[in-house]
């Protein structure tokens, strides 16, 4: 089960920390991918966008989002979302969990309990 479970995020994010603690406490074998340090590729980001959509994947409450020019925020669409997320990975809601060929964004103990 574990080899295909990957948790994406940044290590200092509180929600990522909660997700990691939950996975560890439940003995779930997973790999952590720090998308600042380890990077992201366009194929993966496009797959996430196709699976969950930009509304769910983009964190519009983040500092990074608020710092973007208004024209960029207002002009965001399916075409511009992937390049923007690759340029600013902290715009991605965290964590992103790839498990059993599915993509899950965010963390809640209830959701993870259902997944595992």
Q: Is 35 a member of any domain?
A: yes
The catalytic position among 5, 6, 10, 13 is: 13
CA separation for the pair 105, 56 (Å, rounded): 7
Alpha helices in the chain (DSSP H): 14-25, 42-52, 54-57, 63-67, 70-74, 78-87, 109-115
Task: Flag whether 32 is in a domain.
Answer: yes
15 occurs within a structural domain: yes
Distance of alpha carbon 92 from alpha carbon 53, whole angstroms: 11
In a domain, 1, yes or no: no
Number of folded domains that form the chain: 1
Q: Which CATH number belongs to the domain containing residue 75 in this structure?
A: 3.40.30.10
- Check: CB of residue 30 under 8 Å from CB of residue 7: yes
Residues of the domain holding 21? 6-115
Whether 33 is a known active-site residue: answer: no
Residue pLDDT tens, the chain, 116 long: 445 899 999 999 999 999 999 999 999 999 999 998 999 999 999 999 999 999 999 999 999 999 999 999 999 998 899 999 999 999 999 999 999 889 999 999 999 999 99
> Looking up tokens 């980001």, which residue turns up?
45
DSSP character at residue 91 = G
């Amino acid at each position: 089960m574990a080899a295909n479970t990957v948790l994406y995020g940044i290590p200092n994010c509180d929600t990522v920390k909660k997700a990691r603690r939950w996975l560890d406490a439940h003995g779930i074998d997973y790999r952590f991918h720090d998308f600042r340090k380890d990077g992201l590729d366009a194929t993966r980001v496009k797959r996430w966008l196709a699976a969950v959509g930009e509304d769910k994947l983009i964190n519009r409450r983040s500092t990074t989002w608020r710092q973007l020019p208004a024209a960029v925020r207002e002009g965001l669409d399916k075409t511009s979302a992937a390049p923007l997320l690759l340029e600013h990975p902290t715009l991605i809601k965290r964590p992103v969990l790839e498990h059993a060929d599915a993509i899950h964004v965010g963390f809640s103990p209830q959701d993870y309990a259902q997944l595992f």
